[in-house]
């Protein structure tokens, strides 16, 4: 269905993770197919869409503050179309329509590819809430991608885990893998369009293929395709120079995957494997399904084969009941492993999740104190890890001009560190060049051409 909306403008605000960024690009693609053009100014748009995140309370609250302003504008401009998509939409559903009656459409992440259909209902005069669980239609839209060089490729939607703190399974639904054929087709199209790097996405990417039928490609249990098989299957698409994937789960992370990463030249030496806590009791209360010993073994295995691989992770501090000694186990893990980056957060109770109603919640003071101490250590370790690049030659895929300094171009190492080059040379964009690293900071580098 293509409802024509010529001369109309849309504005999308994207909060949250890479999944949401990928979803926003697909929704933008649908809107452009409908004839909308994009505007940077929310106040100029005929359609404003918030693609929301619910992972922590502060992420959720953002959308309410943005919405208030557009809801007011709608009183003066009744033709304004207001949409809330993403994880808060799924979490709140109809309740969001009651809270903000100016809204036209509330739609969960499983409905992204049906935006045009849902808008048709809106233009027929309905207020719509699309949050029923749905089989995600294969993506027939053409995403409007934000980069011309690097692209997200969804491989599995949803999550079947039950981590006791996490809202994701509730808002993203059960695991649904895309077929390897559909993924390969998307990668080929991206290569034809000139893309150089792809990132395969899944909340628990190690679950890829478990819900698909057995196939000739499958090297997993019962002949099912796994993430490792998928990497081999898509690896040779000409034009694509780098392949990344996220997010890995320590419970399912396989030794075969490490082998594949070491063997396949395009797969970058970077692993994002959240550990959440360095304490076994806390990991158990989180229902993560592994111990800190197992996590350490995974990292040892990676480093035995790829000593220089970048390792990044996520961690939560002040989970309900976490003692000072248990928190120190998280510090110990970070100190022992020396991560390149850790995304840290204080625990935030989420509606409908088990841990939210436990009676051993910690105070805001404890949360702030532990977060600050962990961040301090993470920065120190990241700075040490950055140091190892000094004087080395690194391959950098140049992705664009530094928005903060137009006299520089910027890109990333294979290990995913942002790297700047003090040259105003836009012709380098989209090329992989060798740079000698001359300066290091905890999370970025500077290099010169050699
Ligand atoms: N699927 C990934 C990450 C999903 S959410 C995984 O399993 O690791 C991204 C990160 O947000 C998580 O890794 C976790 O560190 C953090 N997070 C999730 N729920 C949270 C909560 N209730 N409070 C604080 N941080 C949370
Ligand atoms: Fe959330 Fe756990 Fe699933 Fe990750 S694996 S999305 S933390 S429930
Ligand atoms: Fe947020 Fe939803 Fe991603 S809750 S982190 S946008 S899966």
Please provide the CATH number assigned to the domain covering 390-449.
2.40.50.140
Q: What is the pTM of this model?
A: 0.96
For residue 276, count other CB atoms closer than 10 A to its CB: 24
Q: Tell me the pLDDT band of 217, cut-offs 50, 70 and 90.
A: confident
Query: Which ligand number lies closest to the CA of residue 175?
Result: 2
Query: Which ligand number lies closest to the CA of residue 314?
Result: 1
Q: Would you say the CB of residue 20 lies under 6 angstroms from ligand 1?
A: no
Q: So what's the pLDDT on residue 7? A: 87
In this model, does residue 208 exceed pLDDT 90?
yes
> What separation in Å is there between the alpha carbon of 55 and the centre of ligand 1?
7
Query: CA–CA separation, 404 vs 429, rounded Å?
Result: 16
Structure tokens at 154: 């969804």
Q: Would you say the CB of residue 156 lies under 6 angstroms from ligand 2?
A: no
> What separation in Å is there between the alpha carbon of 327 and the centre of ligand 3?
25
Checking 98-101 for CB contacts under 8 A at 24+ apart, the result is 100/64, 100/67, 100/71
Q: Do domains 9-130 and 150-388 have the same CATH topology?
A: no
Fold of 150-388: pyruvate-formate lyase- activating enzyme (3.80.30)
Please provide the CATH number assigned to the domain covering 9-130.
3.40.50.12160
For atom 2 of ligand 2, the residue with the nearest CA is: 163
Q: Tell me the pLDDT band of 354, cut-offs 50, 70 and 90.
A: very high
Atom nearest to 59 CA in ligand 3? 1
Give me the residue label for tokens 């060089």. 149
Atom nearest to 166 CA in ligand 2? 1
In this model, does residue 1 exceed pLDDT 60?
no
Q: Would you say the CB of residue 168 lies under 6 angstroms from ligand 2?
A: yes
Ligand 3 site residues (CB inside 6 A) read 16-17, 19-20, 53-55, 86-87, 167-168, 171-172
Q: What are phi and psi of 110, to 5 degrees?
A: -75, -5
Q: Tell me the pLDDT band of 51, cut-offs 50, 70 and 90.
A: very high
Query: CA–CA separation, 270 vs 248, rounded Å?
Result: 11
In this model, does residue 201 exceed pLDDT 70?
yes
> What separation in Å is there between the alpha carbon of 223 and the centre of ligand 3?
31
Query: Which ligand number lies closest to the CA of residue 14?
Result: 3
Q: Tell me the pLDDT band of 3, cut-offs 50, 70 and 90.
A: low
Residue from 16, 91, 160, 169 to probe ligand 2 pocket by mutation (most atoms less than 8 Å from CB):
169
Query: CA–CA separation, 132 vs 148, rounded Å?
Result: 34
Domain residue spans in the chain?
A: 9-130, 150-388, 390-449
DSSP 3-state of 316: strand
DSSP 208: T
Task: Judge contact between 309 and 300, C-beta under 8 A.
Answer: no
210 CB-near residues (< 8 Å, 6+ apart): 175, 177, 220, 224
pLDDT digits (tens, 9 = 90+) for 235-290: 999 999 999 999 999 999 999 999 999 999 999 999 999 999 999 999 999 999 99
Q: Would you say the CB of residue 315 lies under 6 angstroms from ligand 2?
A: no
In this model, does residue 2 exceed pLDDT 60?
no
Atom nearest to 18 CA in ligand 3? 3
Give the pLDDT mean for 405-409. Answer: 95
Nearest to 219 by CA among 161, 260, 176, 269: 260
For atom 17 of ligand 1, the residue with the nearest CA is: 55
Q: Tell me the pLDDT band of 221, cut-offs 50, 70 and 90.
A: confident
Q: So what's the pLDDT on residue 236? A: 98
Q: Tell me the pLDDT band of 142, cut-offs 50, 70 and 90.
A: confident
Element (H, E) at 243: strand 242-246
Average pLDDT, the chain: 96
Q: Would you say the CB of residue 345 lies under 6 angstroms from ligand 1?
A: yes
Atom nearest to 167 CA in ligand 3? 4
Lowest mean pLDDT among 132-141, 251-260, 325-334: 132-141
The per-residue b/e assignment along 398-429, b for 16 or more CB within 10 angstroms, e otherwise, is: bbbbbeeeeebbbbbbbbbbbbbbbeeeeebb
Q: So what's the pLDDT on residue 20? A: 97
């Amino acid at each position: 269905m293509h409802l024509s909306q010529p001369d109309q403008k849309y504005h999308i605000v994207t909060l949250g993770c890479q999944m949401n960024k990928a979803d926003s690009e697909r929704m933008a693609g649908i809107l452009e197919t409908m004839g909308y053009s994009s505007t940077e100014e929310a106040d100029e748009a005929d359609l404003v869409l918030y693609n929301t995140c619910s992972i922590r309370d502060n992420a959720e609250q953002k959308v309410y503050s943005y919405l208030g302003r557009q809801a007011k504008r709608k009183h003066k401009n009744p033709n304004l179309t207001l949409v809330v998509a993403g994880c808060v939409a799924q979490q709140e559903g109809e309740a969001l329509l009651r809270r903000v009656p100016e809204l036209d459409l509330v739609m969960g992440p499983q409905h992204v590819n049906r935006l045009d259909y849902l808008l048709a209902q809106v233009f027929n005069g309905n207020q719509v809430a699309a949050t029923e669980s749905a089989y995600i239609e294969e993506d027939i839209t053409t995403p409007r991608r934000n980069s011309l060089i690097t692209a997200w490729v969804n491989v599995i939607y949803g999550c079947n885990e039950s981590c006791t703190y996490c809202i994701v399974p509730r808002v993203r639904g059960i695991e649904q893998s895309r077929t390897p054929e559909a993924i390969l087709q998307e990668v080929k199209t991206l290569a034809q369009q000139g893309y150089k790097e792809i990132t395969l996405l899944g909340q628990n990417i190690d679950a890829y293929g478990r819900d698909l039928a057995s196939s000739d490609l499958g090297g997993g249990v019962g002949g099912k395709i796994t993430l490792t098989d998928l990497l081999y299957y898509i690896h040779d698409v000409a034009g694509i120079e780098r392949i990344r994937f996220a997010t890995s789960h320590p419970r399912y992370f396989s030794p075969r995957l490490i082998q594949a990463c070491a063997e396949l030249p395009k797969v970058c030496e970077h692993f994002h494997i959240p550990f959440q806590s360095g304490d076994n009791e806390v990991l158990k209360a989180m229902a993560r399904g592994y111990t800190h010993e197992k996590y350490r073994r995974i990292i040892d295995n990676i480093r035995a084969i790829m000593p220089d691989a970048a390792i990044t992770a996520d961690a939560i501090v002040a989970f309900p009941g976490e003692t000072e000694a248990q928190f120190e186990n998280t510090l110990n893990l970070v100190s022992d492993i020396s991560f390149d980056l850790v995304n840290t957060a204080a625990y935030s109770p989420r509606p409908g999740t088990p841990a939210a109603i436990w009676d051993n919640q910690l105070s805001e003071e404890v949360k702030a104190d532990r977060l600050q101490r962990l961040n301090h250590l993470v920065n120190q370790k990241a700075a040490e890890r950055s140091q190892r690049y000094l004087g080395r030659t690194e391959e950098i895929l140049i992705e664009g001009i530094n928005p903060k300094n137009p006299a520089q171009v910027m890109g990333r190492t294979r290990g995913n560190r942002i790297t700047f080059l003090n040259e105003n040379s836009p012709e380098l964009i989209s090329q992989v060049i060798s740079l000698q690293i001359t300066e290091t900071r905890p999370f970025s580098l500077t290099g010169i051409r050699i």
